[in-house]
Structure 1
């Protein structure tokens, strides 16, 4: 009873924890425990200004500094909004690469690896959902803060800061490269004449297509917080599900090209090391097709909760709804895509194989519609992945100024981030070639290893019990997988080389 009364009397702010765990921020933040005067509401909503006596002792008031930031500014979301965000961030163009992995692994092992990876990362997601409110009165609405709470200040930063920031900012760069490149493909498709004549319209350069995409993305990013972007995520979810479905349905409908073979692309003349490396690269494609764990806690941070009802249940419903649809996209893409193209699949996946092998069977309108869907999804997904960076920059600003970001400051922050991601995408247009290398040290630990170790640290199951052993084994296997995929990606990069076309997208 004493602990409940203490939680009722004091509100623990996640942002206040930053003062406790980040000694580099000199300006004072709120104390770790913030006294909430029952007669002085802190929420900005009129409905919270006069809470009813029955709910007074159980209402979790929004701390002012949490309400300043785009992740926790609005907590009026629901399970459907969470599903929209998850679908928008988790289904991506990486799924179009899955038939390439099947070309190496074959039907049986490809299906096994795809299924195991799906179950593994789904288990990690439910761990993160449970850990979001693992301590009464504290909501870990940011992956980095959860890592710091689980591993300690220094180790948490070392383990999670670079992966989380790269998977946010780096994914935005990849989306600019993919979206800008698809804009160029759309222009070429619509402008190309059926008689083979070249297009007379002025074509933009690669950098200019990147700029067009970035300008539209930053315009959409002016929405104030993650919860306000729910409809944007709904559009992104619908477009991603649509183009994933269309790619495999049209591939099957148009029939298989001649001389399709399902024999593994592993060469019999290759050395054992080369074969192992190719197999690991194929597993890496499957593993990296699942993403979005680095923004899951941020998505859950948009859901309401109090001391009686946490955000766990609506988040579980959102995850369940979204992953039913994700499984209906991912598995047909891999299996039907491999059936349609076999080992003739292009290394760029279905996005490039489909127009190449069915050029005479599809119309301009059909191909253009697919490209438009990919572009819209890239623009929508950019918003979810950029929000943690916006939030982190605003945390720094509010810590120094001890005041909410004005509309002008918030706009400048987002323009700055858009300009930075555009500059990086133009400077390193070959970044997708490094996705396997960098993803092995960022996405794999964040997705498959860290949630297990954070669960052990915060929930503290009985040592050497079944739950303890399972999570230790799974976490260690995730770290081992990260190391193996890193070695395989580095070897492939060393053998094939890198087309480092700096400033030449």
Structure 2
């Protein structure tokens, strides 16, 4: 038990976070697999559009993060009651109906991310095999490998991990995820810089990206632009953890003021990092930038560094899958236990001794439900193995409600902003613009998936 002096705020464990720790949490949460597609996104938009999109999304995210900081305590931003989680904040300020919509958006995002992580991890496994194949047999060798067997391997791994009790509470998981995500992102940036500095390096870039009539048709250009915007949106979908990060801060000075400082530092740092991946990646590959700059084989050597980068991605996503899946596991199990409290299938546990590990308390419902969930996400990833389209779809679906709509609605309600005032109109215009962008991104990503399915045959070797 923690010592008495560590307790504060009505018996809860003392919060010791500062602007520095909060900034670090924001950066480690933001830097993830979304950076892998940024070079491709910039290639579709060009130097002007790509740079503008990165800046605009960072400013919108910064604005909504600052607005959310004032919603942590309600109704007064300094002395009001704490809202320690995003969904608690929505329920307290906006009420039950909005709370249900928020839950739907959050769980849809979690579900989509587990599918995306399955696909991304498998692509990185394939990239490692291809990297060694190209190194051994030359860059022109036929090294095509199907993703399916690697998705199955990833799925089997997650089935086992999903049975570990309280997996998401393991503190080392976040540390490993942060180290791995920074690791592969830095490797991608370093390889891009090395490629730009290569003697004789010359790739085609332009202010507006891929050239209509030469590299793409006019229709393809339009769809690619919308998909690229959705991909960039995916990189900025981390506002849902702002409340949890603010809940780690010391109560003095006021959490909202410290959180605003941390948001400026954290989001600015993340944007600089995103720009490094997207813009330097575009400089390295030009208009031919691959969808994932560590697996698209713009880089062939040093093959061992490419392998390390992809290994970092795999390790990161193995843990990240569980972080995103555990809330889904928990809510279904909680609902089932509430609905059938006397059902032994739901509640009975069996002690299973595992050599060298200890005793595992097995519940049959958990085993079957969690295994079924992992199998489902693996099958969907196999059927729709389109990295940029999946990333874009997740980004478009989650960015608008979770990063824009709910934060602005909560702020307008908490601050009692007068209707049709300049501030009210400005925030409403941002909501409307982001809704249009999200809808266009969703349509473009679905169109890309449908187009891909015309030539792709699920469950068959490439």
Shared fold by TM > 0.5? yes
Q: State the 1:113 CA deviation.
A: 1.5
Structure 1 unaligned residues grouped into runs of 5+: 1-44, 63-73
The reply on whether 1:283 has 2:224 as its aligned counterpart is no
- Map of 1:91-110 to 2, 5 A cutoff? 91-110=31-50
Number of the residue aligned with 1:189: 131
Shift of 1:211: 4.5
TM (norm. structure 2) is 0.77
Shift of 1:240: 1.4
Residues 134, 363 of structure 1: alpha-carbon distance in 2 compared, 3 angstrom cutoff: same
- Once residues 172 and 336 of structure 1 are traced to their aligned partners in structure 2, the CA distance between those partners, rounded to angstroms, is 28
- Output aligned runs, 1:226-305, within 5 Å: 228-255=169-196, 260-263=203-206, 264-268=209-213, 275-300=221-246, 303=248
Residue 321 of structure 2 aligns with which residue?
Answer: 382
Secondary structure, aligned partner of 1:60? coil
More divergent stretch after superposition (406-415 vs 123-132): 406-415
- Counterpart in 1 of 2:335? 396
SS at match of 1:358: coil
- Tell me how far apart the structure 2 counterparts of residues 97 and 493 of structure 1 sit (CA, whole Å): 16
Whole-angstrom CA distance in 2 between matches of 1:502 and 1:215: 19
Map 1:88-487 → 2, pairs under 5 A = 88-135=28-75, 136-143=80-87, 145-157=88-100, 159-190=101-132, 194-195=136-137, 206-214=147-155, 216-217=157-158, 222=164, 224=166, 228-255=169-196, 260-263=203-206, 264-268=209-213, 275-300=221-246, 303=248, 312=256, 315-316=259-260, 319-320=263-264, 322-346=266-290, 348-353=291-296, 356-359=297-300, 362-393=301-332, 395-396=334-335, 399=338, 401=341, 408=361, 413=366, 416-417=369-370, 419-429=372-382, 430=384, 432=387, 433-487=389-443
Mapped partners of 1:165, 1:338: distance in 2: 33
Matched position secondary structure for 1:484: helix
Task: Tell me the residue number matched to 1:29.
Answer: none
The 1-side partners of 2:368 and 2:241 are apart by 21
Offset, 1:59: 2.9
Aligned length: 431
- Contact 1:426-1:502 within 8 A present in 2 as well: no
Q: In 1, distance between residues paired with 2:189 and 2:273?
A: 9
Once the two structures are TM-superposed, the CA of residue 409 in structure 1 deviates from its matched residue by 7.0
> After the TM superposition, which of the residue ranges 362-371 and 184-193 deviates more from structure 2?
184-193
Q: What is the DSSP-based 3-state SS (H/G/I as helix, E as strand, rest coil) of the residue aligned with 1:246?
A: helix
Deviation digits for residues 330-384 of structure 1 (CA, Å, limit 9, x no counterpart): 11111111111111212x231233xx2332xx13321211111111222233343
Q: Deviations over 1:67-123 (max 9, x none)?
A: xxxxxxx88674576556544442222222122222222212221121111111122
Higher RCO structure, 1 or 2 (CA under 8 Å, sep 6+): 2
Change (3 A) 1:281 1:427: closer
Query: Contact (CA 8 Å) 1:89, 1:381: kept in 2 or not?
Result: no
- CA offsets 1:133-171 (integer angstroms, 9 cap, x no match): 33433525143x4444444433442x3333211211221
Q: Is the 8 A contact 2:404 2:431 kept in 1?
A: yes
Query: Over the residues paired in the alignment, what is the CA RMSD in angstroms?
Result: 4.1
CA distance, structure 2, for counterparts of residue 492 and residue 364 of structure 1: 31
Q: Is the 8 A contact 1:77 1:304 kept in 2?
A: yes
Cα distance 1:142–1:371, how it changes in 2: closer, same or farther (>3 A)? same
In structure 1, what is the Cα distance between the partners aligned to 2:364 and 2:423? Answer: 46
Distance 1:413 1:341, change over 3 A: same
Q: What do the CA deviations read for 1:220-245 (whole angstroms, capped 9, x no partner)?
A: 6646375x444322222122122212
What CA distance in whole angstroms lies between the structure 1 residues aligned with 2:117 and 2:135?
Answer: 29
Indicate conservation of the 8 Å contact 2:44/2:221, yes or no: no
Whole-Å separation in 1 of the counterparts to 2:190 and 2:135:
26
In 2, are the aligned partners of 1:85 and 1:234 still within 8 Å (CA)?
A: no
CA distance 1:455–1:498, change in 2 (3 Å): farther
- Go from structure 1 to structure 2 and tell me whether the alpha carbon gap of 1:125 and 1:191 turns closer, same or farther (over 3 Å shift): same
Normalised to the residue count of structure 1, the TM-score between the two structures is: 0.71
Q: SS state of the match for residue 254, structure 1?
A: helix
Looking at structure 1, the residues matched to 221 and 408 of structure 2 have their Cα atoms a distance apart, in angstroms, of: 31
Whether the 8 Å contact between 1:98 and 1:285 is mirrored in structure 2 is yes
Aligned partners of 1:179 and 1:411: how far apart in 2? 28
Report 1:8-27 matches (<5 A): none
State the alpha-carbon separation in 2 of the partners of residues 317 and 375 from structure 1.
33
CA distances 1:406-455 after superposition (whole Å, capped 9, x unpaired):
98478974884355134322344215434434542333332233311222
